[in-house]
Amino acid sequence: MPAVLDKILKQKSGPLTSELLLRPNDFGLGKLPRNLETDGTTTSVCGFCSTGCQLKLHLHQGEAIGLTPSTDYPVNLGMACPKGWEALSVLDSKERATAPLLKEFANEPAREITWDLAAKIFSDKFKKVQATYGKESVAFISTGQITTEEMAFLGSFAKFGMGVKHGDGNTRQCMATSVVAYKQAFGFDAPPYTYADFEESDVVVLLGSNLAIAHPILYQRLARNKRNPDIVVIDPRATETAQIATQHLALKPKGDLYLLYALAHCIIRDDRVSHDFLKAHTEGFEDFAEFVKDYSPEATFEKTGISASVVEKLAKLISDPTKRVSMWWTMGINQSHEGVRTAQAIINLCLMTENIGKPGTGPNSITGQCNAMGSRLFSNTTSLLGGHDFANPKHRAKVSRILEIPEENIPTEPSWAYDQIIDGIEAGKIKGLWVIATNPAHSWINQAKFHKVRKKLDFLVVQDMYHTTETAQTADLLLPAAAWGEKSGTFINSERRIGTLKQVRHAPGQALSDFRIFQLLANAWGCGEMFEKWSSAPAAFELLQQLSKGQPCDITGIKGYQHLDEAGGIQWPLAENSKFQASSVLTESLEPRTEHLKLPTSKERRLFEDGKFFTPSGCAKFLFDPPTALPEPTCEDYPFTLLTGRGTSAQWHTQSRTNKSAVLKKLYPSELFLDLHPKDAAKLGIADQQEIEISSKRATISAKAHLTTNVNPGDVFLPMHEGSINKLTFPSFDPHSRQPSYKACAVTVSAV
């Protein structure tokens, strides 16, 4: 162990090099064939959101001193949002974790320890928990913020090496709904679109998506559309995006499923569906058509607040066979108590009107985190590596063969979801927790519950780039991690594009890349030999390629990281022999189908061009259920519905990074403001900028009033980034995806 550690730390102190250039040796720490240029430029995909912009990094004496957006990358085309421009500055924070920290007693400060000791304590403590309470008593919560290679290594080490059964990611909070919706409807988690569809649509429908703020570069892609598109925003708030739309439907909170069923009702009633496509490429339409007979615009008005005439007009617009229609959604749909069926209602509309597999079309989910798509395919949590099935013996045998691990080490069923892990801690079934690059003490719904269950853990390990996050401050052991810009690997963005990130800075102090931390921990655990193949990021990527073979996400045709750079990133699938697997049906043999393959001719590609899906029948499925009531409706004591969402384009999630940038902090309010309609404020005797309190059944927080007609009477809005917001939120979860419903709970507002 000390010898391996010494090699890693010596590497950190030498000339800055790119881990992309490493070649495998006994522990992945061999000599580098060359250094990055002392002065010059290199490129890296941004590490904030799922858009996946490429940044050009300017080097001096081997380290990045500045950046500009890449002009020829097919994602951002020379653009960057405020977060991207500040990506380097947040690395210099004095709050960086620079050495392992151990807190032996709750009332004493943590002390610095060596990596050697930290790895030993990690192993000894978690093994003791497992020996006392059973193998399933240790769990991990991961992230969409680390590289694909790292999250695959984590999932493999934890499940195959440590014997941990339960592990989930913070991606459960942002994209689980879309994953399940696509899997159930298409047979695989397969977002079908490319960003070029923003520019190719005649009609763009945005549902629960404030594109201008949450994904500003995609908003700019929409602004490049020269087809004079109709832009329809469906959102309870008059968001920044709604204000540039040709039409804004300010529906009632969580009235979206009723509205989508009403649109389907009108289209089917008027026989504006694509019968030939439905017959050849879908199943279940007849049952769906019968189901929506009861959802006329008049019957759903009470739930949606949208008049029948507006619904009828929109139904005609999105079913016009001469128009290309794309429908896009984000957290306003995903973070819902019935998000999966709502997403599938969008999919149903696109299938009915044949708006899929063609330019400017598609039921298109936009993800949140920079590598949420990497997590979806390779985190080894809800699905086995490469989108395989834990319950399928052939899939387990394939993974065992490629990774050269005993098949009995592979679980036969997926993990508990995030909320079930938290419940498991509360019930005393989980006593050890490992948290990697995420901050649940801030972000978890009904925040007080996480703080309560934390006390029931025997041992909490937090692995993070900062020692000051709310979760890191409660850790028994803190492992200091390198950040974006200090390590190398790949991310996969919302449109399935794989891009590279590169090391252009030294990590501070003793901080190591997550990849190297996993190597050290595996060695300390005593299973290092099991992961000898995981010698470097490029070596791990080759393993992921082998695991993807025969899957819809087949990437065996990628010729390494240089190929990704030269191609401007590559969207999956890209099967070996330079063939593009546009779509295929999964087979029991796990071998890729050779039908419907063609050479990749464009940097922008979409799925299902041939109408063939990944289900056993090759047909997409219509799925539906009756809408359900809000889990926490308003009442006399709590008369307002609290909506939450992105505050500004300068804020990101729990602000672990963005609040380290002086520039970004100037771009958003220094105080918390509640958006409140003037009519409601008048009834309550509240003036603009006045100090107020917002209370739910769980907590009370303070803010200032911001009077605005951007919210409807009866609704209020708070930005999600403030640390106190999730003290208020109600813990309800979609039954199919287990995704939390952050978007609506009952509150009251009062003057202080």
CA-nearest of 188, 190, 186, 148 to 169 is 148
CATH number (3.40.50.740, 3.40.50.880, 3.40.50.720, 3.30.70.270) of 101-173+373-483+510-570 reads 3.40.50.740
Model confidence pLDDT, tens digit, residues 61-75: 889 999 999 999 999
C-alpha 505, offset from chain centre:
26
Tokens, residue 597: 């393959």
pLDDT at 28 over 50: no
Confidence of residue 21 (pLDDT cuts 50, 70, 90): very low
Is the distance from CB of 487 to CB of 514 less than 8 angstroms? yes
Is the distance from CB of 543 to CB of 564 less than 8 angstroms? no
pLDDT at 584 over 50: no
Model pTM? Answer: 0.92
Model confidence pLDDT, tens digit, residues 618-630: 999 999 999 999 9
Strand 715-719 relative to strand 673-676, pairing: antiparallel
| Residue extent(s) of CATH 3.40.228.10 domains in the chain | 176-365
Name which residue leads in pLDDT, 204 or 171.
204
CA-nearest of 292, 279, 206, 274 to 242 is 206
Model confidence pLDDT, tens digit, residues 644-659: 999 899 888 888 998 9
| pLDDT at res. 35 | 45
- What span, in angstroms and rounded, lies between the C-alpha atoms of 202 and 353? 14
| pLDDT at res. 39 | 80
| pLDDT at res. 6 | 60
Segment (H or E) for 183: helix 176-186
User: Hunting for tokens 């009062």 — which residue is that?
Assistant: 750
Measured CA angle at 100 (ends 99, 101), to 5 deg: 110
CATH number (3.40.50.150, 2.20.25.90, 3.30.428.10, 3.40.630.30) of 2-92 reads 2.20.25.90
| pLDDT at res. 154 | 98
Please state, rounded to an integer, the average pLDDT across all residues of the chain.
Answer: 91
**Average pLDDT value for residue range 160-167:** 97
**Average pLDDT value for residue range 75-80:** 96
Model confidence pLDDT, tens digit, residues 503-547: 999 999 999 999 999 999 999 999 999 999 999 999 999 999 999
| pLDDT at res. 600 | 42
| pLDDT at res. 38 | 66
Tokens, residue 583: 């779509």
Segment (H or E) for 257: helix 256-269
**The amino acid at 495:** E
| pLDDT at res. 275 | 97
**CATH code, 176-365:** 3.40.228.10
Segment (H or E) for 571: strand 570-571
The DSSP string of 66-117 is: EEEE-SS-TTTTT---HHHHTTTGGGG-TTB--S-EE--STTS--EE--HHH
| Residue extent(s) of CATH 3.40.50.740 domains in the chain | 101-173+373-483+510-570
CA-nearest of 279, 266, 276, 283 to 320 is 266
Q: Is 169 helix (H, G, I), strand (E, B) or coil?
A: strand
**Average pLDDT value for residue range 611-617:** 96
Is the distance from CB of 333 to CB of 339 less than 8 angstroms? yes
CATH number (3.90.950.10, 2.60.40.1930, 2.40.40.20, 1.10.10.60) of 640-751 reads 2.40.40.20
**Average pLDDT value for residue range 293-314:** 98
Tokens, residue 201: 């649509």
Model confidence pLDDT, tens digit, residues 362-412: 999 999 899 999 999 999 999 999 999 999 999 999 999 999 999 999 999
Helices (H), 427-536: 440-443, 447-454, 514-525
| Residue extent(s) of CATH 2.40.40.20 domains in the chain | 640-751
pLDDT at 13 over 50: no
